[in-house]
Amino acid sequence: MNKEFKKELLVILLISVTLIISCTTQETEKITDNTNNKELESNQKIITVNKIEVYHFHATQQCWSCKTVGEFAEETVNTYFREEVNNGKIEFKSINIDEFENKAVSIKYGATGSSLFLGVYDENGFHPEQNTLVWYKLQDKEDFQNYLKGVIEKRFAGEFE
Tell me the per-residue pLDDT of 89-146, one tens digit each, with 9 for 90 and over: 999 999 999 999 999 999 999 999 999 999 999 888 999 999 999 999 999 999 999 9
Residue 4 has pLDDT above 70, yes or no: no
pLDDT tens, position by position, 58-101: 999 999 999 999 999 999 999 999 999 999 999 999 999 999 99
Q: State residue 40's pLDDT score.
A: 45
Phi/psi of residue 124, each to 5°? -100, 0
pTM of the model: 0.70
Phi/psi of residue 146, each to 5°? -65, -40
Higher local confidence (pLDDT), 21 or 80:
80
Q: State residue 124's pLDDT score.
A: 87
Range 25-31 contact pairs with CB under 8 angstroms and sequence separation of 24 or more? none
Phi/psi of residue 114, each to 5°? -65, 125
Q: State residue 30's pLDDT score.
A: 35
